[in-house]
């Protein structure tokens, strides 16, 4: 998968080009249309009724007719694919929707036909027509696809002269044939059964030219006939009639013939979700998501329309974008609001008032459709966009009305009043409305039918002018009278019920760029399954004491398996289906369970003698699966075998022989089979293996000796012990050992003799004698330590002895070596405080340690008397700020000396310096900022109070070298005593000297805010008086007063309220006995305790005429100031 793949969970993508090569300027945030270009699709699967329904989403219903009254019309029958229509050749035909081929410059007609008809009209325009366009009541055809004497043929009047074409290829063999006609410019191409028959050149005019008018009553598009005067009807069957507003490629024609599927969008319909929710678009990099909206997605019709907000495309350039699909878990990201300049699909339960202003009543939204009230009697019945829009905008709307009569219609306006461009769907036609008079129709654009949705566009161009377009811009009416900018969009129904499916506005670009699918650009995502890792392990249990081998016998009832995660460099590994059971061919996806973990603990009950198989299937995030693989074959047996039935001894009885021979009968194990035997001499002897039913051993003591033997099967199960007693009376020999314990400078040799003896060990290095050391006491069990050796050396040794009778003896020579030199590791000196340190270390061997330390010499020492392998010790009473040397001395049990050393720096005690203060003058209260420094990070605390009084503490817990603290709400013009302290990270506290600071006089005036004025009237008739409630806030406690005078504004304030000297921050003053309707100007006055006064700016108020009590004004004011609740 390429590095620029958007999301590994998407299986497919295809590339589209946005061609702005002819553009004179760059485009950005431009909405492009990605679609099939299909205008109608009639599969003829309706089976009954007089309508053939269009499944393209364009709502172009076809009508079935007989030519004469009382006739039956085309008959529903079996078609090439599912249903079809049968035409009798005498009077059967059907009419198609009006916009199916309206104003198409290029088009493709695709249809399956079956006929044995071979006939020709008097004139070529009277041949039996498969599909034709004619003027109503006229013999003149615009075009006709015909059956001319059994051959596929064509007739048109696109040029000045009529044009005919005869393929000379028969279609009248009473078999199904696929017919396609393509028009590209002035070239016609004809295909039969997927193959190109030939081309023809025709005129340059287009379907729907002006002389045909193309209005409701002047044309008809029909299947089964084309000329009603002398024209012949088609006899045969039809199926799968499709019309495209573009030219199909040769590949698409071939695919239509082969599989009845054709798609500009590649394999989208077969690989995407049924509702298209997994479709995504990205920019050229393949990863940056683009906003889009799905207008329609109809996989059964192979038709879709997507609008994509394109990225920047420079002038004269081409860029690529990608469409992704094929993700079963994705949810829809379609978003019209993000895609268009303006968008509404009326998907809510009511009109979205953030988008529309509603005038009048009766507007409804239901099922995604907006229905308007009638604006004939009340032109205010409309909805108007909240936002205005600049020129160079395209407004697209899908709408219908329910009537087709004069003075009835629906209106889309850009602008209001008499300053607008507009569309009017009127009398079955769409018009551009005049800019100067909304009642003048400036021109016709397209034919519509009542109760059938159609799509129209209003384009407002920069610099003036507009285009009114129908059927997706196939034909437009231009109107260039004025230039209106920054207007609203308005929708209204006019003497009719108006229905709107959706509306969107998008940026208009003259010479808009084209969009095309790059043929063969579809890329596949992850289609390959994961790859299993070769790393796989099995154990007896999750604690993993024993490793297990596949195909071997084991005795553990709950084996545990684990493996390294499989690899998948595309979509990644999702997890595993795991099966553990008796079936070697089991499918884990059916018989097992899914898990994401890379381990498995058996939970089934195992039966002895049975084989079990761990089978795994790995699955990636695109649901690709590996083939089932057996990762482990587990043979289970947890039943112990029988012990040997008996043991034979030779020689029998007490013997002076050095060696005794034993044998026993073969033991049979029915499950995992016998692996061998184990034996030991004596109850404490070493357990050894033997693979046969016999062995030879020596005695381990004088007199009776015991031999233990037991059976072992291939699963590791052990039987109970079987025993045999043998008797030895031989001379001294070593019956157990020797064993050696090595140290760095010593070896300790141990053994057991058959009789009481002394014990010595003789040591050589190569052929050089080193030492002989031992014990003169008599014993059966011996342990001799030989010291004075060197680390990491190879030595030979021999055991010698003397028994109690004076007999000498010795063993053969043995080899050994001393251990490596010991060392001290991980020596650490961790500072606990400026006077304490914790020293820790560990050693490679056990030893006795001492600690030495000092400034320049090691003049202090701590002895640790017990042997240790590691130690941790606290050293106290050290000097703060000093650097120390440290050494650890060690002596091992065999006398080896070793040591390790380091240095450490003790931190100093905390100290405080540079204490100072500064007055803060921009505060409403008296505030001082204290600052100081400490030599090490400490907390910050200040203790302060009026001189001679108790002190208050302010602290900050964060550690710092630079310290500041604010002391607020101080008494003005006063002297304070204070000192500062700080605690370091070790709990040591530093304290400054006792200091003083003096506060300033309060010279800052208060700040007034949130002035609110409410008016009311009290009394009745002539007693009616007005009153004003004024409320405000101050940033410090102040008095309350209002001065006021008559007039809108001025510097004269003829009246004042009594000053309320209570100091507060929330103020309310009532001014009574005012004249209603007379203007007053007022300002508020606040004075703080320092006699600093603030006057607000001038405010104007005119008391109203609605009577309200002063109590209600006060309650409303208190609610606003203090948040009082509970009053209704």
3-class DSSP assignment, residue 266 = coil
Are 411 and 492 in contact by the 8 Å Cβ rule? The answer is yes
Confidence of residue 99 (pLDDT cuts 50, 70, 90): low
Residue 1084 domain-assigned?
yes
Give exposure, 468-481, as e/b (b: 16+ Cβ within 10 Å). bbbbbbbbbbebee
Is residue 522 assigned to a domain? no
pLDDT digits (tens, 9 = 90+) for 1076-1101: 989 999 999 999 888 999 999 999 99
With cut-offs at 50, 70 and 90, classify the pLDDT of residue 45. very high
* Same domain assignment for residues 280 and 402: no
- Cβ-based neighbour number of residue 629 at 10 Å: 12
Position 525 in a domain: no
Answer with the one of 259, 287, 322 that is the final residue of a domain: 259
User: 91 with 222, same domain?
Assistant: yes
**pLDDT higher than threshold 50 for residue 462:** yes
Do residues 6 and 289 lie in contact, with contact meaning Cβ atoms separated by under 8 Å? yes
Q: What is the DSSP string of 676-744?
A: EEEEEESTTSPPEEESSSEEEE--SSSEEEEEEEEEEETT--B---EEEEEEE--S--EEEEEEEEE-S
Whether 1053 is in a domain gets the answer: yes
Longest dimension (CA), the chain: 150
Choose the final residue of a domain: 337, 369, 397. Answer: 337
Q: Are residues 431 and 479 in the same domain?
A: yes
Tokens standing for 91? Answer: 């009077």
Distance CA 988, CA 990 (A): 7
Assess contact for 926 and 918: CB atoms under 8 A.
Answer: no
Is 520 a member of any domain? Answer: no
With cut-offs at 50, 70 and 90, classify the pLDDT of residue 421: low
User: Rounded to whole angstroms, what are the CA distances from 342 to 388, 504, 1102?
Assistant: 10, 5, 43
User: Is pLDDT at 265 greater than 90 in this prediction?
Assistant: no
Whether residue 1027 is predicted with pLDDT greater than 70 in this model: the reply is yes
**Average pLDDT rounded to a whole number, residues 758-763:** 96
Is 15:4 a contact under the CB 8 Å cutoff?
no
Q: Greater confidence, 659 or 650?
A: 650
Among 720, 391, 750, 716, which Cα is nearest to 559's? 716
959 and 1032 in a common domain: no
Output phi, psi for 337, to 5 deg.
-60, -40
Does the structure show a pLDDT above 80 at 576?
A: yes
Note whether 62 and 42 are within 8 A (CB): yes
Task: Give 843's strand partners.
Answer: 824
As beta bridge partners, residue 966 has: 929
The better pLDDT of the pair 207, 384 is held by 384
133 with 227: CB under 8 angstroms?
Answer: no
Closest CA to 237 of 61, 389, 395, 84: 84
**The pair of three-digit structure tokens given for residue 396, joined into one six-digit string:** 């697209």
Range of weakest confidence among 112-121, 247-256, 1015-1024: 1015-1024
Instruction: Report yes or no on 2 lying in a domain.
Output: no
Average pLDDT over residues 637-652: 95
**pLDDT tens track for 1005-1023:** 999 999 999 998 876 655 6
- Asked whether the beta carbons of 1017 and 1110 are under 8 A apart, the reply is no
What is residue 486's predicted lDDT score, i.e. its pLDDT? 72
- How confident is the model at residue 474, as a pLDDT? 44
pLDDT > 90 fraction of the chain, expressed in percent and rounded: 60
- Answer yes or no: are the C-beta atoms of 839 and 810 closer than 8 Å: no
Q: Is the pLDDT of residue 75 over 60?
A: yes
- The contacts of residue 610 (CB under 8 Å, 6+ apart) are 582, 635, 636
Residue found by looking up tokens 């004003």 in the block: 1028
Domain identity same for 683 and 562: no
Q: Do 798 and 831 share a domain, yes or no?
A: no
| 641 domain residue, yes or no | no
Q: What is the spatial order of strands in the sheet that 382-385 belongs to?
A: 356-359, 382-385, 489-494, 409-416, 419-426, 429-433, 441-447
591-629: pLDDT as tens digits: 999 999 999 999 999 999 999 999 999 998 888 999 999
Final residue belonging to a domain, choices 510, 544, 564: 510
**DSSP one-letter string for 472-513:** TTTEEEEE-S----SB-EEEEEESS-EEEEEEEEEE--TTPP
Instruction: Give residue 168's pLDDT band: very low, low, confident or very high (50, 70, 90).
Output: very high
Q: Are residues 631 and 712 in the same domain?
A: no
At 513, the pLDDT band (50, 70, 90 cuts) reads: confident
Over residues 205-252, the pLDDT tens digits come to 654 443 333 334 456 788 898 777 778 899 999 999 999 988 999 989
Rg of the Cα atoms in the chain:
52
CB contact at 8 A, 261 and 299? no
> Concatenated DSSP letters for 866-932?
EEEEEEEEEE-SPPTT-EEEEEEEEEETTS-EEEEEEEEEPPPPP-EEEEEEEEE-SSSSEEEEEEE
The band of 70, judged by pLDDT with boundaries at 50, 70 and 90, is confident
Task: List Cα–Cα distances, 53 to 45, 46, 62, 224, 261, in angstroms.
Answer: 9, 7, 6, 17, 18
Burial of 976 (0-12, 13-18, 19+ CB in 10 A): buried
Select the more confidently predicted residue: 829 or 520.
829
Same domain, 1018 and 1106: yes
What CATH number should be reported for the domain holding residue 549? 2.60.40.10
pTM across the whole model: 0.53
Q: What pLDDT is recorded for position 411? A: 61
The more confident residue out of 420 and 757 is: 757
Same domain, 327 and 438: no
**Which run of H or E residues covers position 632?**
strand 629-636
Domain, as residue range, for 23: 12-36+266-337
Q: What is the CATH number of the domain that holds 272?
A: 2.60.40
Per DSSP, the three-state class of 453 is coil
What gap in Å lies between CA 1088 and CA 1034, rounded to an integer? 10
Cβ-Cβ contacts under 8 Å for 138 (sequence gap 6 or more):
none
pLDDT above 50: residue 1106: no
Domain co-membership, 184 together with 243: yes
> Tokens at residue 362, please?
């009766």
Per the model's pLDDT, the better-predicted residue between 564 and 121 turns out to be 564
Residue with tokens 């604010």: 966
Rounded CA-CA distance 377/384 in Å is 18
Digit-coded pLDDT (tens) for 317-351: 999 999 999 999 999 999 999 999 999 999 999 99
Tell me, rounded to whole angstroms, the distance of Cα 232 from its chain centroid: 63
Q: For residue 432, what pLDDT band results from cuts at 50, 70 and 90?
A: very low
Rounded average pLDDT over 56-76? 86
Q: Render 522-553 in DSSP notation, one character per residue.
A: -EE---SPPB--S-EEEESSTT--SEE-TTSE
For residues 291 and 351, membership in a common domain is answered with no
pLDDT of 921 above 80: yes
As a whole number, mean pLDDT of residues 503-517 equals 83
Q: For the chain, what is the domain count? A: 9
Instruction: Give the pLDDT mean for 842-870.
Output: 93
pLDDT in the model for residue 207: 47
Residue 480: CATH number of its domain: 2.60.120.200
Q: Is-contact 375 494, C-beta < 8 A?
A: yes
Q: Kindly report the average pLDDT of the chain as a whole number.
A: 86
Task: Check residue 412 and give its pLDDT.
Answer: 67
pLDDT of residue 415: 61
The pLDDT of residue 210: 38
- The pair of structure tokens assigned to 925 is 């209260």
pLDDT, residue 613, reads 98
Q: Are 283 and 313 contacting, i.e. CB atoms less than 8 angstroms apart?
A: no
CA neighbor of 814 nearest in space, from 801, 797, 799:
797
Closest CA to 455 of 474, 433, 432: 474
Q: Where do we find the tokens 């007719």?
A: 65
CA distance 89 to 116: 11
Please indicate, yes or no, if residue 632 is contained in any of the structural domains: yes
User: What pLDDT is attached to residue 416?
Assistant: 57
Residues 201, 77 share a domain:
yes
């Amino acid at each position: 998968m390429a590095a620029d793949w958007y999301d590994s969970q998407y299986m497919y993508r295809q590339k589209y080009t946005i061609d702005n090569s002819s553009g004179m300027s760059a485009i950005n945030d431009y909405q492009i249309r990605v679609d099939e270009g299909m205008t109608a699709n009639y599969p003829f699967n309706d089976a009954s009724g007089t309508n053939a329904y269009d499944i393209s989403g364009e709502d172009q219903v076809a009508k079935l007719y007989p030519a004469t009254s009382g006739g039956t019309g085309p008959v529903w029958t079996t078609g090439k694919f599912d249903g079809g229509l049968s035409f009798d050749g005498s009077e059967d035909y059907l009419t198609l929707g009006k916009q199916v081929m309206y104003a198409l410059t290029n088009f493709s007609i695709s249809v399956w036909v079956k006929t044995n008809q071979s006939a020709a009209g008097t004139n070529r325009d009277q041949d039996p027509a498969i599909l034709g366009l004619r003027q109503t009541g006229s013999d003149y055809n615009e075009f006709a696809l015909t059956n001319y004497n059994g051959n596929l043929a064509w007739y048109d009047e696109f040029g000045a002269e009529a044009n005919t074409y005869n393929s000379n290829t028969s279609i009248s063999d009473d078999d199904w044939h696929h017919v396609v006609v393509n028009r590209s410019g002035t070239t016609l191409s004809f295909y039969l059964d997927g193959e190109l028959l030939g081309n023809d050149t025709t005129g340059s005019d287009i379907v729907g030219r002006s002389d045909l008018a193309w209005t409701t009553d002047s044309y008809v598009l029909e299947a089964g006939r084309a000329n009603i005067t002398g024209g012949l009807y088609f006899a045969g069957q039809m199926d799968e009639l499709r019309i495209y507003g573009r030219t199909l490629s040769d590949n698409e024609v071939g695919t239509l013939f082969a599989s009845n599927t054709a798609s500009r969008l590649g394999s989208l319909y077969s690989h995407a979700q049924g509702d298209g929710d997994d479709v995504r678009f990205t920019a050229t990099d393949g990863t940056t998501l683009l906003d889009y909206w799905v207008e329609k997605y109809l996989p059964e019709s192979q038709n879709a329309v997507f609008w994509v907000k394109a990225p920047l495309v420079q002038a004269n350039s081409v860029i690529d974008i990608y469409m992704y699909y094929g993700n079963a878990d994705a949810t829809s990201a379609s978003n019209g609001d993000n895609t268009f300049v303006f968008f509404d699909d009326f998907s809510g339960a009511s009109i979205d008032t953030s988008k529309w202003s509603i005038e009048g009543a009766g507007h409804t939204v239901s099922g995604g459709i907006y229905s308007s009230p009638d604006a004939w009697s009340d032109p205010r019945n409309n909805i108007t966009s909240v936002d205005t829009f600049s020129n160079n905008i395209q407004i697209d709307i899908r709408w219908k009305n329910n009537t087709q009569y004069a003075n009835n219609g629906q209106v889309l306006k850009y602008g209001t009043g008499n300053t607008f461009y507009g569309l009017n769907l009127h009398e079955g036609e769409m018009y551009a409305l005049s800019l100067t008079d909304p009642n003048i129709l400036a021109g016709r654009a397209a034919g519509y039918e009542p109760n059938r949705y159609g799509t129209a566009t209003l384009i407002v161009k920069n610099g003036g002018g507009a285009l009114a377009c129908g059927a997706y811009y196939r034909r437009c009416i231009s109107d260039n009278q004025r230039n209106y900018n920054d207007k609203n969009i308005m929708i209204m129904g006019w003497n009719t019920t108006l229905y709107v499916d959706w509306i969107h506005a998008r940026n208009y670009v003259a010479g808009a760029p084209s969009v095309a699918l790059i043929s063969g650009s579809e890329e596949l995502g992850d289609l390959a399954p994961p790859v299993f890792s070769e790393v796989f392990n099995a154990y007896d249990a999750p604690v993993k004491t024993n490793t297990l081998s596949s195909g071997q016998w084991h005795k553990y009832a709950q084996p545990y398996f684990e493996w390294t995660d499989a690899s998948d460099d595309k979509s990644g590994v999702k997890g595993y289906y795991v099966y553990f059971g008796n079936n070697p061919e089991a499918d884990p996806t059916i018989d097992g369970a899914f898990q994401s973990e890379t381990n498995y603990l058996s939970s089934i009950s195992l039966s002895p003698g049975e084989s079990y198989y761990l089978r795994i299937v790995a699955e990636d995030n695109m649901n690709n699966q590996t083939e089932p693989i057996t990762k482990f074959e587990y043979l289970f047996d947890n039943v112990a075998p029988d012990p040997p039935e008996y043991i034979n001894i030779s020689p029998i009885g007490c013997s002076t022989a050095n060696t005794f021979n034993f044998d026993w009968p073969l033991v049979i194990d029915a499950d995992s089979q016998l692996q061998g035997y184990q034996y030991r001499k004596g109850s404490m002897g070493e357990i050894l293996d033997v693979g046969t039913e016999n062995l030879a051993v020596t005695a381990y003591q004088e007199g009776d000796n015991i031999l233990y033997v037991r059976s072992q099967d291939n699963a590791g199960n052990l039987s109970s012990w079987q025993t045999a007693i043998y008797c030895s009376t031989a001379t001294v020999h070593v019956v157990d050992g020797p064993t050696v314990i090595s140290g760095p400078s010593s070896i300790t040799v141990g053994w057991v003799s058959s009789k009481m003896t002394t014990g010595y060990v003789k040591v050589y290095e190569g052929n050089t004698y080193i030492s002989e050391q031992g014990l003169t006491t008599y014993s059966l069990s011996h342990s001799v330590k030989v010291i004075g050796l060197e680390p990491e050396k190879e030595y030979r040794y021999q055991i010698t002895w003397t028994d109690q009778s004076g007999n000498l003896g010795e063993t053969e020579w043995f080899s050994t070596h001393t251990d490596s030199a010991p060392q001290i590791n991980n020596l650490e000196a961790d500072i606990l405080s400026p006077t304490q340190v914790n020293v820790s270390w560990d050693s490679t061997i056990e030893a006795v340690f001492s600690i030495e330390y000092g400034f320049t010499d090691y003049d202090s020492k701590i002895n640790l008397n017990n042997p240790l392998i590691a130690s941790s010790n606290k050293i106290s009473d050290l000097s703060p700020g000093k650097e120390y040397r440290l050494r650890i001395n060690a002596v091992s049990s065999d006398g080896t000396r070793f040591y390790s050393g380091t240095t450490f720096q003790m931190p100093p005690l905390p100290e405080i310096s540079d204490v100072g203060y500064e007055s803060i003058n921009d505060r409403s209260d008296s505030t001082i900022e204290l600052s100081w420094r400490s030599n090490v990070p400490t907390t910050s605390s200040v203790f302060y109070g009026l001189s001679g009084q108790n002190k208050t503490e302010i602290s900050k817990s964060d550690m710092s070298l630079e310290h500041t603290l604010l002391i607020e709400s101080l008494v003005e013009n006063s002297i304070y005593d204070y000192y500062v302290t700080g605690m370091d990270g070790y709990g040591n506290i530093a304290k400054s000297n006792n200091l003083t600071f003096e506060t300033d006089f309060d010279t800052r005036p208060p700040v007034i805010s949130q002035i609110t004025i409410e008016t009311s009237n009290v009394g009745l008739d002539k007693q009616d008086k007005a009153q004003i409630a004024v409320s405000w806030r101050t940033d410090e406690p102040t008095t309350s007063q209002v001065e006021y005078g008559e007039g809108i504004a001025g510097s004269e304030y003829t009246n004042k309220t009594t000053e309320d000297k209570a100091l507060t921050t929330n103020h309310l003053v009532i001014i009574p006995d005012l004249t209603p309707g007379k203007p007053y100007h007022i300002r508020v006055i606040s004075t703080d305790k320092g006699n600093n006064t603030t006057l607000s700016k001038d405010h104007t108020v005119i008391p109203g005429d609605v009577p309200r009590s002063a109590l209600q004004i006060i309650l409303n004011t208190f609610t606003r100031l203090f948040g009082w609740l509970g009053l209704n």
